[in-house]
Amino acid sequence: MSQRPRLSDILYGDMLGRIQRGQFPGDGKLPSEKELSQNFGVSRPIVRDALRRLREDGLIQSRQGAGSFVTAAPASPPARPANGAQEIQTISDVRRVYEFRIALEGEVAYAAALNRNEALTAAIKKELDAIDQAIQTGKIGVQQDSDFHAAVARATQNQYFQAALAAVRPHLDYVIDLARSFSMLHSGEHLAMVQREHAAVYEAIRDGDAVKAREAMQAHIRNAQERVFDGIHL
């Protein structure tokens, strides 16, 4: 991709689709920034950036003192940036990916702690170290982060867990990119915080503490979701 993915890109496409379907009718007034923020469950800066793009595309216009109004639905949609996971088209889709990850990867970590062996545990540590190396060299580390989660799945020694994670890897990579982009934009401390969460998962698996591994993985994914939706920097 030419640029890092942003939640505002998805919100833009979400609102564009609603305009095309007539859910935001032509010449109709859009909800306020505050209402859109509450309705979509995203921060106001994200809403503001999506509205800016809709104005630039001529799809809405601002009327002084009155708010934003839809001009007309486009005959063909403006080009949208490819997100690498075509099924992710709405804000709700992003939330569903996180919901799925919390459920699946929590159990993956639990099973990994029960079934890991020395070699598989070392493989997880290798991927953890690869993320550290990426951070130290100023890289965002999406591939390394994704490889860490894949290594956890391999440690389960259950091909069905591995297949389930592999099947949705493009979607997982996309939300990982969203979360790591947020951390990179803010400060190195955010990436270090994410890495501490990864380390907690690894240590619980290494120690064979299945309950702690599940809790650490679910906490990590919930925290990633919160970073994306509540603290994104545009």
Transcribe 80-103 into DSSP letters. ----S-TT--SHHHHHHHHHHHHH
Helix, strand counts (H, E) of the chain: 10, 2
Name the pTM for this structure.
Answer: 0.80
Residues in contact with 131: Cβ distance below 8 Å, sequence separation at least 6, in sequence order:
141, 144, 145, 148, 195, 198
pLDDT at 74: 62
Q: Which residues pair with 69 in a beta bridge?
A: 29, 61
Report d(CA 21, CA 17) in Å as an integer. 6
Give the chain's domains with CATH numbers. 7-70 (1.10.10.10), 91-231 (1.20.120.530)
Report pLDDT for 183: 57
* Average pLDDT by stretches of 10, the chain with 234 residues: 71 89 86 92 90 91 88 61 63 93 97 98 98 86 92 98 93 86 62 91 98 98 88 42
The identity of residue 135, as a single letter, is I
Angle at 143 between CA 141 and CA 144, to 5 degrees: 65
